[in-house]
Amino acid sequence: MNEYNFNIEEIEGPGAENGNSPSPKKPKKNTALKIAASLMAMSLVSAGSIGIYHHLTYPDQNKTITESSAEPEKNNIEAENVSMLQISESKDGVLTTEEVVKKVMPSVVGIKSEFEMPQQSNNSFGGFGGFGDFFGFGDEYESQIPQENPIGTGTGVVFSEDGYIVTNAHVIYDSQNGMGLATEIEVLVEDETYTAEIIGYDVDCDLAVLKIEADGLISAEFGNSDELNLGEDVTAIGNPLGLDLMNTVTKGIVSGLNRNVTINDKSMSLIQTDTAINEGNSGGPLINKYGQVIGINSSKMSSSGFGSASIEGICFAIPSNKVVNVVDDFMNYGYVKGKPQLGISCRDVTAEISQMYDMPLGVYVVEVTEGSAAEKAGLKKGDIITAVDDVKIETAAELTAQKNLHMAGDEIKLTYKRNGEEMTATLVLDEMTENA
């Protein structure tokens, strides 16, 4: 018997991996840039909490919730091989702010998502002499919840005349409160309200595609985010704090490019802007001086903790080139292609757990999916992963970060402890073929 194989209940479902995020292309940065990007991510996290926002309210309360990411349920999609969202190279000349707004405003929509609040959270799990408590398990409890289902509001961008819309995944999928996928999604186009179908979503890259039964919509033009320059004027349109303030326009500049920002253990390369982005702006367009969408607004930095200095004007958008690639995958496959997967569920072995149970620091394997890359390589429940490609790791987030330097089909080496013995395994990463 594996000496670390305690009775720990699986939290995230078979084959789920903590902090799994997309990696469509291998990084092509030199070491100095990698270090700089890493320091930037740590600086951002330590300076304040970076939140992905949509406005979530309860019918009987005025409560705003900051969204975080988690593994979603599988969403089966059947789609033909199509490419509907493309980068436009045409530029009709620099527009005034008024002209930019007039061009793009008809393509901006409001999104309202209704969620079903879990009636009870049962955290009673078997443990090994209280071992489970250190993994976040405790006594059974019943959540105090409102009587009515909460409603989230956000923003979306029309990208085809027949009703396809792009937005943030967190607008339609709630993780922090365990509500998961919205039970009903409505899209407001001018004065008309439509029920939306989900074509695809991915919480790791924070993008989703919706479809409404409408024709003759005005689609937005998407520009090339690689051509953005620091200091360039940009405009945002969205629905901050709910649909009562729908179509709010704010303006700023491009403050930074290729910012490697870590949000909820997921690393994303984003556009930084000082354009005001607030709760409810999620999924709305960041627009260049030609009236082209060059980003989807998704997040901002905010203060955390009592007495923290206020943080203003540090907001982020997903680059349009990334959006186009992800949308294309949604339309063709229903999920994001190339995402690597080990095929395990895992939890951190913290310093406290390590000392109490004489276990090495690392990532405890809770479950191994049958037929997965991990099982084929010989990993078992209870193994503790301590390194990836000879890079030491102590958390699931670090494991994910190393894994996501690769694509599906790449080969990696894992170092792990079993019964106190250090072992290694070489495996070929699977492709994640579900929404995540």
Residues catalogued as catalytic = 170, 206, 282
The CA distance from 403 to 33, in Å, is 19
Query: Residues near 120 by Cβ (< 8 Å), separated by ≥ 6?
Result: 142, 143
CA atoms within 13 A on the CB side of 271: 37
* Largest distance between two CA atoms of the chain: 70
Sign of CA dihedral 401, 407, 412, 414: positive
Element (H, E) at 426: strand 421-428
| Range list of β-strands (E), 264-311 | 266-273, 285-287, 293-302
The CA distance from 159 to 161, in Å, is 7
| Range list of β-strands (E), 242-379 | 248-263, 266-273, 285-287, 293-302, 315-319, 340-341, 344-349, 362-368
Query: Residues near 269 by Cβ (< 8 Å), separated by ≥ 6?
Result: 258, 259, 260, 261, 319, 322
Task: Give start and end residues of each alpha helix (H) in 211-290.
Answer: none
